[in-house]
C-alpha cells in the first residue's frame, strides 16, 4: 500500500511568487534538482524560450558545483519548428544542446525532441507519443507561457485533450519569436507540439513566467476560466501544477496575499524558503 495521500486530497494548482526573475528561475531549478536526486532515472519534460535560459544556467551550475547527476535522466521537449534541421541554430534541438544537454552529463541518446524535418509529420507525432509512453510517462514537465496563452505551441482553440501534432502558429507567437530569427518572414509558420492532453498526463507540471509582459496572460491562465482560448488555463485541471512567477508577472493577480502566505507557511515549501 502506498502511503501517499489519495489524489483527491492533494489535487491543486499552486501559485508561488518570488521577488525577481533570478529567484523564480532558481526555485524552478531547485525543484528539478530535487526530482533528479530523488529519482536518478527521472523523465523530464523540457521547454525552450528565453524564460528557461536562467533555469538551465542554474542546473548547469548545480551539475558543475554540486555534482547534480543527469546520467540516468531522460528528456522530452515540448516542441520543435517544422522544417528546421537539428543543426539549424534556430532549432529547439540546437537551443537545448547549447543551454543544457552539452553542458551536463546527459546522454544525448536519452534526449528527445520532435523531428521537424520528418517526411511524414503525422507519423512523427504518433511516434513521439509512443516514445513518451515507452519511457513510462513524464515525471516533471517544465513549461513557459506565450503571450497567446499557449503552453508548448498549443495556440488558442487547441483542444484540451489534444495530443502531439502539427500546429500553425498565431500572429502573436510569430511576433513574439520573430526577433530570434531576425524578422517575421524568416520564421517557420508551423511547429510540432505535445498536445494539451499530453502535457496534462505529466505527473507534475511547473510553469515559469517572468516579466511584466506576462502579467496579463498569467492572471487569465490562473484566475480566469478554463478555456481552450488560453491553453495554460488547462493546468487548473491538473492534480499537481505549480505556477512560479516573479513580482512583475504577478502584477495582475487578485489573490497575491494568499499566494504569498502559501509559500511562507505551507510545509511543502519549507526546504525552498
Ligand atoms: C517553448 C514553448 C513555449 C514557450 C513560450 C514562452 O518550448 O513551448 O510555450 O515556453 O512561448 O517563451 P519565452 O520564454 O521566450 O517567453
What's the whole-number mean pLDDT along residues 123-133?
Answer: 98
3-state secondary structure of 228: coil
179 pocket-lining for ligand 1 (C-beta < 6 Å):
no
149 lines ligand 1 (CB under 6 A): no
Kindly give the number of the ligand 1 atom that is closest to the alpha carbon of 150. 9
Ligand 1 contact via 150 beta carbon (within 6 Å): yes
CA distance 185 to 54: 28
User: Quick one: DSSP state of residue 205?
Assistant: E
Fill in the DSSP letter of residue 5.
P
| Structure confidence at residue 5 (pLDDT) | 57
pLDDT digits (tens, 9 = 90+) for 219-251: 999 999 999 999 999 999 999 999 999 999 999
pLDDT of residue 2 exceeding 80: no
Q: What is the pLDDT of residues 22-78, one digit of tens each?
A: 999 999 999 999 999 999 999 999 999 999 999 999 999 999 999 999 999 999 999
pLDDT band at 3 (very low <50, low <70, confident <90, very high): low
Angstrom distance (rounded) from CA 138 to CA 136: 7
Contacts 24+ apart (CB under 8 A), 2-10: 7/239, 10/239, 10/240
How many angstroms is it from 155 CA to the middle of ligand 1? 12
The residue assigned the cell 548547469 is 60
Alpha carbon distance 165, 196 (integer Å): 10
| pTM of this structure | 0.96
Amino acid at each position: 500500500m502506498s502511503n501517499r495521500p489519495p489524489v483527491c486530497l492533494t489535487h491543486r494548482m499552486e501559485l508561488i511568487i518570488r521577488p525577481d526573475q533570478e529567484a523564480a528561475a532558481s526555485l524552478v531549478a531547485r525543484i528539478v534538482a530535487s526530482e533528479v536526486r530523488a529519482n536518478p532515472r527521472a523523465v523530464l519534460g523540457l521547454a525552450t524560450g528565453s524564460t528557461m535560459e536562467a533555469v538551465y544556467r542554474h542546473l548547469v551550475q548545480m551539475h558543475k558545483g554540486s555534482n547534480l547527476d543527469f546520467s540516468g535522466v531522460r528528456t522530452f521537449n515540448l516542441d520543435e519548428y517544422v522544417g528546421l534541421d537539428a543543426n539549424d541554430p534556430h532549432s529547439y534541438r540546437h537551443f537545448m544542446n547549447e543551454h543544457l544537454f552539452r553542458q551536463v552529463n546527459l546522454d544525448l541518446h536519452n534526449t528527445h525532441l520532435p523531428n521537424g524535418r520528418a517526411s511524414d509529420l503525422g507519423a512523427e507525432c504518433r511516434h513521439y507519443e509512443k516514445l513518451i509512453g515507452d519511457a513510462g510517462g513524464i515525471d516533471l514537465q517544465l513549461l513557459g507561457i506565450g503571450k497567446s496563452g499557449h503552453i508548448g505551441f498549443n495556440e488558442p482553440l487547441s483542444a484540451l485533450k489534444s495530443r502531439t501534432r502539427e500546429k500553425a502558429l498565431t500572429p502573436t507567437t510569430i511576433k513574439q519569436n520573430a526577433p530570434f530569427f531576425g524578422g517575421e518572414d524568416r520564421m517557420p509558420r508551423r511547429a510540432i507540439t505535445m498536445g494539451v492532453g499530453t502535457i496534462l498526463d505529466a505527473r507534475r507540471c511547473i510553469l515559469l513566467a517572468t516579466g511584466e509582459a506576462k502579467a496579463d496572460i498569467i492572471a487569465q491562465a490562473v484566475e480566469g476560466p478554463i478555456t481552450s482560448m488560453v491553453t495554460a488555463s488547462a493546468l487548473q485541471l491538473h492534480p499537481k501544477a505549480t505556477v512560479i512567477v516573479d513580482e512583475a508577472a504577478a502584477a495582475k493577480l487578485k489573490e497575491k496575499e494568499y499566494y504569498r502566505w502559501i509559500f511562507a507557511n505551507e510545509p511543502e515549501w519549507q526546504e525552498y524558503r
